[in-house]
Amino acid sequence: MLTDDHRAWGYASSTGLGFTHREIVEAHFRACAPEYRLALEEAGLRPGSRVLDAGCGSGTFLPWLAELVGPTGRLAALDLAEENVGRVRELAQRESLGAPVEVTQGDVLRLPYDDDSFDAVWCANTTQYLGDDELERALAEFVRVVRPGGRVVVKDLDASLITARPAPPFLFTDFFRRAAESPGYARQLLRARDLHRWLSRAGLDAVRQRTLLIEHYAPFDAAVQRFYGLACARVAEQALALGCGEGWRGFADPDAPANPLHDPCGYVSEGNVVAVGTVPG
């Protein structure tokens, strides 16, 4: 699961995985909350459902999941990072989520649940950290713990849709092409558009997929400015080291007036892919 290049991406949690620290994850959630809610609605969760949030992070999706399953539903939240498990337990105790939540530290490659335990698995922004063999194993685990007729729902970032203006139109494309020449996190960030194939190969039926474009236009609100400023600065550091061009220099300092994200006509986009499949039987 841990590729050699995560240190360069930064914002690691105790797992050592880049861009999993609460600071950057929650900043991303606040910047893209409306689009994240649309992605969750693709899951088609019903009141009374038993749902596993596999790779729950600090629990940002749990209030929405609880709202969808209601008081007759049941949630389980699982994450690899010990600190995330602690925060989710505090969240469940501090707030009335509207549905009971069981919180567990664990690995999506070895789920600590019995067969047919859930009506659905929701897995958001987690498969990007799995190598191909690991993704296959995780999907097999999701299929195992979901009852026949239940759903497996995987949402992840589509890095091929990341761009910013004013900046050269292929700036991000060229970086990801270069960075993905060898196995690692960049290559896995470009795999989301193929999720429907992975779900089909895992034996799921009625597989469907939707790609949601996320767009932000200047003037950016504080949440958008903060997240993309921090994220683009980390990518710029790597791109400059790879010799991807001086066009990245402007993104290196999030607070610099010349940063393209401070331009009055600024624009930034990314994509979410949601793939849904039904467990046969």
| Domain coordinates in residue numbering, the chain | 6-278
3-state secondary structure the chain: CCCCCHHHHCCCCCCCCCCCCHHHHHHHHHHCHHHHHHHHHCCCCCCCCEEEEECCCCCCCHHHHHHHHCCCCEEEEEECCHHHHHHHHHHHHHCCCCCCEEEEECECCECCCCCCCEEEEEEECCHHHCCHHHHHHHHHHHHHHEEEEEEEEEEEEEEEEEEEECCCCCHHHHHHHHHCCCCCHHHHHCCHHHHHHHHHHCCCEEEEEEEEEEEEECCCCHHHHHHHHHHHHHHHHHHHHCCCCHHHHHHCCCCCCCCHHHCCCCEEEEEEEEEEEECCC
Residue 136 to residue 141: CA distance in whole angstroms: 9
* Residue given tokens 């606040």 in the structure block: 30
Interatomic CA distance for residues 137 and 134, integer angstroms? 5
Quote the tokens at residue 100: 């009971």
Distance of CA 29 to CAs 22, 223, 249, 263, Å? 10, 9, 26, 23
Architecture of domain 6-278: 3-Layer(aba) Sandwich (3.40)
The token pair that represents 235 in the structure block: 């990518």
User: Which pLDDT does position 167 carry in this prediction?
Assistant: 95
Residue tagged 């389980």 (tokens): 76
* 169 contact partners, CB below 8 Å, separation of at least 6: 163
**pTM, full prediction:** 0.95
In this predicted model, what pLDDT tens digit does every residue of 104-147 receive, in sequence order? 999 999 999 999 999 999 999 999 999 999 999 999 999 999 99
Cα–Cα separations (whole angstroms), residue 205 to 71, 169, 200, 281:
29, 38, 7, 10
pLDDT tens digit at each of 281 positions of the chain: 556 678 889 899 999 999 999 999 999 999 999 999 999 999 999 999 999 999 999 999 999 999 999 999 999 999 999 999 999 999 998 888 999 999 999 999 999 999 999 999 999 999 999 999 999 999 999 999 999 999 999 999 999 999 999 999 999 999 999 999 989 999 999 999 999 999 999 999 999 999 999 999 999 999 999 999 999 999 999 999 999 989 999 999 999 999 999 999 999 999 999 999 999 98
pLDDT value for 83: 97
Euclidean distance between CA atoms 82 and 85, whole angstroms: 5
Q: For the chain, how far is it from start to end, CA to CA, in angstroms? A: 31
Q: Which amino acid is at 130?
A: L
